[in-house]
């Protein structure tokens, strides 16, 4: 079946299988591999994207449900002239090791700061509770989000 | 496989009735796991996301009508005053990503013994509105939940809404699990101290085939933790033992009573 959606500000059409996820459509049909596929069951957050401005796991959205809707992936977060402040802060704070969790965390952190520009530590932990990282132990990731909050 | 996306409730009901074994999907947080892991391959998926009548909630002379498509994030944000235990439970579901997509109607559809929306709704004596070719019917949530992952929904019906008359009673929700986020409850409890009606109501989750309501008069609060623990019928499984679950319910009930007493 054919779906039509806006991804990172651009109209796209894609031929998808009825049972496939938005994550699969983004990665395999639209050539946007930024959103990562790890668990396919909503547990790890590495596939986090914004669907009509709401943070979701792309693996738990049926591609057909995104028909006529708007998606922003990690590829579309940054403005034209450089990285998004959260991306910049991840680099500055050393919050990236293998990097697999990074796209999802960057999208989730950007979503948090858009709604809560100066989060408390509790708000930060709760907002990122759906994103797993097997490398960093999270301390540097929290540093990065605090840095981005301070910078904006 | 095919996806049907109705735009109105009437269209959704017609498609549901006409199409044998069409699987409704709302937030997809249960259904997509089944599809991604090839545990299920329905012939037709009925996408309810575009049906405006299922969204949000409304006040109708003293009762609240929660649309089947009401998300946990909306419960947290909008119902903290009127249905505080439900709002607390919503906050414990999965993660922000799951709360943004997962719905009350989906929790009822799955009817898991661990469904976190169910104990708070039982304590508030919620009723479930179903619609099908024969029209609408409403039944108490207690009757809707018939077994583990089994509910009273007929093949040609949809869950439309949940109706609650907020009691105004002090109430809370508690959940035991290995961490605060992303856990299926090992045991959970919603409790309300309803002074107006002179009774305490509690409902447990993950401690029997279905979440169940237990009541007692206000003056029997002392024995209530034991009564809740005895009413449950937990099993041993990977998440915990039956004995631990009974113990947890006793502790949670005592704590919840304390919290709701003041
Ligand atoms: C990572 C993760 C964590 C989770 N954590 C929790 C948790 O902490 N607590 C908890 O309770 N649950 C949890 N869940 C399970 C799930 O999020 C909830 O059960 C949620 O309420 C399902 O809602 P949904 O809209 O996503 O349902 P869907 O997946 O869309 O549907 C679920 C079921 O309900 C049926 N259905 C949906 N809407 C209707 C309707 N209107 N009429 C008839 N049938 C309908 C579907 O056919 C399906 O059988 C978790 C899931 C994931 C993936
Ligand atoms: S791949 Fe979607 S949450 Fe893990
Ligand atoms: S940096 Fe490796 S998983 Fe997070």
**Where are the domains positioned within chain A?**
2-76, 85-151
Q: How many CB pairs under 8 A join A and B?
A: 91
Residues B66-119 have pLDDT tens digits of 999 999 999 999 999 999 999 999 999 999 999 999 999 999 999 999 999 999
B61 touches chain A (CB under 8 A): no
Q: What Rg, from alpha-carbon coordinates, does chain A have?
A: 15
Residues of chain A with pLDDT under 70: 152
**Which residues 217-256 of chain B have a CB within 8 Å of chain A?**
none
Mean pLDDT score across all residues of chain A = 97
Q: Which domain holds residue B223?
A: 170-261
Q: Which atom of ligand 2 is nearest to the CA of A42?
A: 3
Nearest residue on chain B to A23, judged by CA atoms? B36
Angle, alpha carbons B186-B229-B103 (nearest 5°) = 45
- A2-76 falls under which CATH superfamily? Beta-grasp domain (3.10.20.30)
Query: Strand (E) positions, B165-251?
Result: 170-176, 187-194, 199-205, 212-217
pLDDT the model gives residue B179: 87
Residue B41 has pLDDT above 90, yes or no: yes
- A85-151 falls under which CATH superfamily? [2Fe-2S]-binding domain (1.10.150.120)
Domain for residue B73, yes or no? no
Q: Count structural domains, chain B.
A: 1
Contact at 8 Å (CB) between A118 and A105? no
Nearest CA to ligand 1 atom 28: B28
Question: Rounded mean pLDDT of B39-51?
Answer: 97
% chain A with pLDDT above 70: 99
Q: Find the CATH number of the domain harbouring B178.
A: 3.30.390.50
pLDDT the model gives residue A151: 79
Domain for residue B29, yes or no? no
Q: Is the dihedral of CA A62, B94, B227, B243 positive or negative?
A: positive
């Amino acid at each position: 079946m054919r779906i039509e959606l806006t991804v990172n500000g651009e109209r796209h059409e894609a031929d998808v299988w009825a049972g496939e996820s938005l994550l699969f459509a983004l990665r395999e049909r639209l050539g946007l591999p930024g959103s990562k596929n790890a668990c396919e069951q909503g547990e790890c957050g590495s596939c986090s994207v914004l669907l009509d401005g709401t943070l979701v796991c792309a693996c738990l959205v049926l591609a057909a449900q995104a028909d006529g809707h708007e998606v922003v992936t990690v590829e579309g977060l940054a403005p034209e002239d450089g990285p998004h402040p959260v991306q910049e802060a991840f680099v500055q704070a050393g919050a990236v090791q293998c990097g697999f969790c990074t796209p999802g965390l960057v999208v989730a952190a950007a979503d948090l700061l858009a709604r809560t520009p100066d989060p408390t530590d509790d708000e930060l932990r709760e907002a990122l509770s759906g994103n797993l990282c097997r490398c960093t132990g999270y301390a540097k990731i929290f540093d990065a989000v605090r840095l981005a909050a301070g910078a904006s | 496989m095919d996806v049907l996306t109705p735009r109105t409730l009437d269209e959704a009901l017609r498609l549901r009735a006409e199409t044998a074994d069409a699987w409704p999907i709302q937030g997809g947080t249960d259904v997509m796991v089944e599809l991604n892991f090839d545990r299920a391959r329905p012939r037709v998926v009925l996408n309810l996301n575009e049906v405006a009548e299922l969204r949000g909630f409304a006040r109708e002379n003293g009762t609240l009508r929660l649309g089947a498509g009401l998300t946990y994030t909306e419960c947290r944000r909008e119902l903290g005053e009127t249905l505080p235990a439900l709002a607390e439970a919503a906050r414990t579901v999965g993660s922000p990503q799951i709360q943004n997509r997962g719905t009350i109607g989906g929790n009822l559809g799955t009817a898991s013994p661990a469904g976190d929306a169910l104990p708070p709704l039982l304590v508030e004596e919620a009723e479930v509105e179903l619609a099908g070719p024969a029209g609408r019917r409403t039944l108490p949530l207690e009757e809707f939940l018939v077994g583990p992952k089994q509910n009273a929904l007929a093949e040609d019906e949809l869950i439309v809404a949940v109706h609650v008359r907020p009691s105004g009673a002090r109430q809370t929700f508690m959940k035991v699990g290995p961490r605060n986020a992303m856990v299926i409850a090992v045991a959970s409890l919603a409790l309300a101290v309803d002074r107006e009606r002179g009774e305490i109501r509690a409902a447990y989750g993950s401690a029997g085939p279905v979440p169940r309501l237990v009541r007692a008069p206000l003056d029997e609060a002392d024995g209530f933790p034991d009564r809740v623990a005895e009413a449950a019928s937990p099993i041993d499984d990977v998440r915990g033992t039956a004995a631990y679950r009974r113990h947890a319910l006793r502790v949670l009930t005592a704590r919840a009573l304390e919290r709701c007493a003041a």
